[in-house]
Amino acid sequence: MISNIISQEEIDLFVQSIRKYDIEDIGSKSWCEFHEILIKLSQQAIIEASEHREEIVKELLIIHDKLPDLIHGVYTIVVWRAKVLPKLLENSDLPASFFIYTILYHELIIISLLETVLYHENSCESLGELVLDLIDYCVNGITQLIGLIHSGVQNLIEKNIELSTIDELKIHQNEIIFNLAMKDITILSYLSDKISTLSVSASRRLTQTHDVPCLLAELLTLRPWLRKTKNFEKFIDGKWKIVEGDEILKVSKVEVQTWFCLRNILFHRETFQQYEINAFRQRELGKCSALLNDVILDQLPPLIELKQFLCTLQVSQDIANGLNNLILEVIPEIKDKIIEKAKRTGWKNIIEKHKKLFVDMKENEVVEIAKRLSDAYNFEFMADFEEQQQVKNKNQTENETIRCCSTCSKPAEKKCSRCEVAFYCCRECQVKDWILYDVDANTKTGYLVPEDNCGIEIDI
């Protein structure tokens, strides 16, 4: 077990120090200190979750009601990216370009922390009506990624080309947008899984305000987590890794979350009743049924029901569901409040202040900030932790590939072609399991199985 980044006493102090920052405060000394605190809290939360320990960071964030402040912090960077950053990039000379990258990375740190803690139901429930702001943020992040893919931006990155500082910064920005979108998918999956405990408006936000199922269908078609350069590469644990052979066909974590998010929305009563199935949606969602091949279903048996549903959906008439129900919907306010406050301060004043900070920074100030940030990121510690996790995951994967016979528990390679879940080592074991299998198969697939014989054979 790896040691803590910070002690329990420090965690409590750091969590209590979290507060809202305005756009004009970004880059200030107090903001940089806050950035360092978030880095340590995020790293500590990842360690606690990965090692299945008591998640102190998560509990304290809920107790001190700091999740709203984190969502506010994310939107502050979003507005800064849209309103201030383009003005800074008009300057050809940016001596502190790494500092701008730090501001962009700040958003990724907060989302990484939210991704870790929102795995738990009590974290999602504690969001209250702010879950709408988070849903809006995640949907916008995924939409932005799809836009980048369609515009071909991801294919323009060439490692051997000499780039200007501005171009390098833009590439880093696109990389962060990609990483954010991958985490947005996971967060949406967590929220959709716990939709019954969330605000009533959350289900309408996912289905009516935003057409999240069709958005996910587009993602599953594009498969942004897989790319072909000189080799096949998959986005695994926040990094692009070369994959070969069977690894290419193995479903990545992000792809799993995308499928499960779609399944949650279509199978949960709270969301499906709010979702009108028209001809366009039938066509878009129908594309996913073709993607659910045997390779994916073998790895993710719960998706068998989803494929059956999608196939049925393609030949069904339009489903209106309960769209006429009158509900007073809460409107997200965080982004609008941030923009309104910035307007009162004056965009011109904010931009001038940040030009002095990011463009006119002295060399000694650049060196000092770079050193502080390097210490905060603690690269060596996290590299050791990642190495340990990779070894752990490899051992776990090797254990998972050893399939056992459903009857005698001996190693088995032959899978039942009906339920696509049970494995048998021989024909005799399958026959012995027929009586129990009849009940199990009915439960898993919903198909009727003859009582005298399951009628399924495997070639041994």
Half-sphere exposure at residue 449, Cβ-oriented, CA atoms within 13 angstroms: 21
Do residues 24 and 109 both lie within one domain?
yes
- Assess if residue 157 is contained within a domain: yes
pLDDT, residue 160, reads: 44
Task: State whether residue 409 is helix, strand or coil.
Answer: coil
Residue-wise pLDDT for 195-224, tens only, equals 999 988 999 999 999 999 999 999 999 999
Do residues 438 and 394 both lie within one domain?
no
Q: Is the pLDDT of residue 258 over 50?
A: yes
Do residues 315 and 347 both lie within one domain?
no
**Start-to-end Cα distance in the chain:** 44
Q: Is the pLDDT of residue 233 over 90?
A: yes
Task: State whether residue 40 is helix, strand or coil.
Answer: helix
Residue-wise pLDDT for 411-426, tens only, equals 676 766 655 557 777 7
pLDDT, residue 361, reads: 73
- Assess if residue 345 is contained within a domain: yes
- Assess if residue 266 is contained within a domain: no
Do residues 412 and 311 both lie within one domain?
no
pLDDT, residue 91, reads: 75
Give residue 450's pLDDT band: very low, low, confident or very high (50, 70, 90): very low
- Assess if residue 80 is contained within a domain: yes
Do residues 238 and 255 both lie within one domain?
yes
Do residues 141 and 174 both lie within one domain?
yes
- Assess if residue 457 is contained within a domain: yes
Most confident of 153-162, 184-193, 233-242: 184-193
Q: How high does pLDDT run on average in the chain? A: 83
Give residue 80's pLDDT band: very low, low, confident or very high (50, 70, 90): very high
pLDDT, residue 407, reads: 65
Q: In this predicted structure, which of 32-41, 187-196, 448-457 has the lowest mean pLDDT?
A: 448-457
Nearest to 242 by CA among 261, 252, 260, 229: 229
Do residues 74 and 153 both lie within one domain?
yes
CA dist 65 and 125 (Å) reads 12
Rounded mean pLDDT of 392-400? 51
pLDDT, residue 356, reads: 86
Do residues 103 and 64 both lie within one domain?
yes
Q: Of all residues in the chain, what percent carry a pLDDT higher than 70?
A: 78
Do residues 183 and 257 both lie within one domain?
no
Residue-wise pLDDT for 23-65, tens only, equals 999 998 899 999 999 999 999 999 999 888 899 999 999 999 9
Domain final residue pick, 357, 380, 401 = 401
Do residues 29 and 157 both lie within one domain?
yes
Do residues 316 and 348 both lie within one domain?
no
Domain that holds residue 457: 406-460
- Assess if residue 206 is contained within a domain: yes
CA dist 261 and 279 (Å) reads 22
Please classify residue 400 by burial: count the beta carbons closer than 10 Å to its beta carbon, then call 0-12 exposed, 13-18 middle and 19+ buried.
exposed
Q: Regarding predicted confidence, which is higher, 307 or 417?
A: 307
pLDDT, residue 437, reads: 44
pLDDT, residue 377, reads: 75
Domain count of the fold of the chain? 3
Domain final residue pick, 321, 339, 359 = 321
Ranges of H-type helices in 197-346: 200-204, 212-222, 246-249, 253-267, 269-272, 279-291, 294-299, 303-314, 334-345
> Residue 407 phi/psi, 5° resolution?
-100, -55
- Assess if residue 165 is contained within a domain: yes
Domain final residue pick, 384, 401, 418 = 401
pLDDT, residue 21, reads: 96
- Assess if residue 416 is contained within a domain: yes
Do residues 169 and 255 both lie within one domain?
no
